[in-house]
Structure 1
Amino acid sequence: MRFARFGVPGSETPVVESEGRHFDLSSVTPTIDPAFFATHAADDFAAVRAALAEGTLPAFDASGQRRGAPLDRPGKIVCIGVNYSDHAAESNLAVPTEPVVFMKDPSTIVGPDDEVLIPLNSTKTDWEIELGVVIGQTARYLASPDDADAVIAGYVVSHDVSEREFQLERGGQWDKGKSCETFNPLGPVLVTRDEVGDPQNLRLRLSVNGVERQDGSTADMIFGIRHIVWYLSQFMVLRPGDLINTGTPAGVALGIEGTPYLRAGDVVELSIDGLGEMTNKFADASATSPASAPASPTTLEGAAR
């Protein structure tokens, strides 16, 4: 199955795609969030499958609608750095002997076509296409990488936008170069594990203003997806709806001498085999909140009341 969300930020309609058509999931769940996965992923989304088979879900017209991020407000975003050997080489970084782990603010998630803001005082905003892994069941001290598949709900295209000066030149942890507002466009769909086939054989592509910058394969990961999920479970509890960004292949601005970093007006296009495409236009940040910014949980709760 393929899950998506359509509509204005903070009020998206949850949708499931089946045989090229969209169906409204509102009768099953108010959104595609950690609670949805905690309730439905353990039995392979049986309620959704049954509703589709019985024809009880109303058709949804997605034409002209904004595409929201298919995952709403994950509990955490865990990122793996330097996970492709070609990216390590271009960045003059040693190939790690264990996964490099850092966290990213979950509120950075925006839709697959939403505007991305270049932070104030930024001169090195960079692109990174990544395969996103969405957790479906709690993973705590998994015995081996072979146990990882059972806790994975599905996969998604993730854009791990990074500010390299903030990340690497300003001291401290990487998080502050990764957690600027709008820095994680996601989508357009979340594809369940059973439909993806081999996640270690997916092609990732990214272009900037029509010029191809990244063309890699998940086959070239230093640490594979199963290893990453198992490894992380030894240090933290992975919960339903958590997102893991699994690293980026070569071709980022940081690694190519003379390649300009992103500026206002630049357009970045991304795709992963079987997971869809997204396009992000970049703009300068200001003191005003972006129109595409999702509402905070507090705002949403207030609106509900």
Structure 2
Amino acid sequence: MKYMRVGPAGAEHPVACTGERYHDLSGVTADIDGAFLAAGALDGAGVAAETLPEIDITGLRIGAPIARPGAVLCIGQNYAAHAAESGAPPPEVPILFYKAPNTVVGPYDDVLIPRGSTKTDWEVELGVVIGRTARYLDSPEHALEHVAGYVTSNDVSERDFQLAVSGGQWSKGKSCETFNPLGPWLVTPDEVGDPNGLRLRSSVNDEPRQDSTTADMIFDVAYLVWSLSQYTVLEPGDLINTGTPQGVALSGRFPYLRHGDTVVVEIDGLGAQRSAVRDAP
């Protein structure tokens, strides 16, 4: 199953996707949020998407496929090649930082370059959405049972804010407005299968930047969910950004984003997003 949200920002409408058809979920849930996911989504409601009214989404804005999460947890340097291009050794334990939940925007919304920014960067990432509360999980073995689905995520970053004027924390360079385009879909685990072999790519102005697979992650999805549950309670609707592969501007091989650029990030089976880059007003 694929879930999505359509409509104006702040007034999105919940939708289920079956093939090329879109079904209105408003009779089942007010939103694609933690409560809906914790209850088992449509499976928990005992409703077949095909029985719900169809909706025409032509011309409608596509929002982030989940409502504003309670937490956006991010893993740094989780691909060895990306750690190397950042000038750091591969981490021995997952590096955790947070983004503000209000960074989450739709997959085709603009990305705004912050005032004073000279180093705004892109990062295609596999996003993991929690479906069941996870605290002190015994092992990674059953961690994926706590996952509601997967999503294409762009962990946009401002590198000077992150590194030069951070004060030692990364979140300052990660929490600017519009810095987490998400979607277009939340795809349930049964459609994704193994999340550790998905191809992910990015481009800027149609020029390739990143091209890798989640098989290159240092810490896989199950390990991350288990590990994070040892330090914080993961709640339904929370988003985990699992890290980005090599090919970002921080490497020095590419220019940073500027007003007028277009960024595309995509993951096989999870869809592509396309963001116009604009200077913040």
Q: Normalised by the shorter chain, which TM-score bucket?
A: over 0.9
1:302 maps to none
* 1:248 is the counterpart of 2:244: yes
1:130 pairs, out of 98, 109, 125, with 125
Distance 2:43 2:169 in 1: 38
TM-fit CA distance, 1:37: 1.4
TM-fit CA distance, 1:263: 0.5
TM-score (ref. length: structure 1): 0.90
CA-to-aligned-CA distance 1:149-201 (integer Å, 9 cap, x gap): 11001000000000000001112310010000000000000000111011100
* 1:176 is the counterpart of 2:172: yes
2:153 maps to 158
Structure 1 residue matching 2:40: 3-state secondary structure: helix
TM-fit CA distance, 1:132: 0.1
Structure 1 residue matching 2:128: 3-state secondary structure: strand
Distance 1:247 1:183 in 2: 15
1:233 maps to 229
1:9 maps to 9
Structure 1 residue matching 2:145: 3-state secondary structure: helix
Distance 1:207 1:252 in 2: 10
* 1:193 is the counterpart of 2:189: yes
TM-fit CA distance, 1:134: 0.2
1:38 maps to 38
TM-fit CA distance, 1:39: 2.4
Structure 2 residue matching 1:46: 3-state secondary structure: helix
CA-to-aligned-CA distance 1:35-93 (integer Å, 9 cap, x gap): 2112235xx7332x52425x2x1101011111110011111000000000010111111
* Structure 1: runs of 5+ lacking an equivalent: 287-305
Distance 1:104 1:268 in 2: 20
Count of equivalent residues: 280
2:116 maps to 121
Distance 2:158 2:43 in 1: 37
Distance 1:164 1:248 in 2: 14
2:271 maps to 276
1:24 maps to 24
2:210 maps to 214
* 1:52 is the counterpart of 2:49: yes
1:63 maps to 58
TM-fit CA distance, 1:256: 2.9
* 1:146 is the counterpart of 2:144: no
- Dislocated runs of 4+, deviation >6 Å: none
Q: Which letter maps to 1:174? A: W
Structure 2 residue matching 1:172: 3-state secondary structure: coil
TM-fit CA distance, 1:33: 1.2
Structure 1 residue matching 2:54: 3-state secondary structure: coil
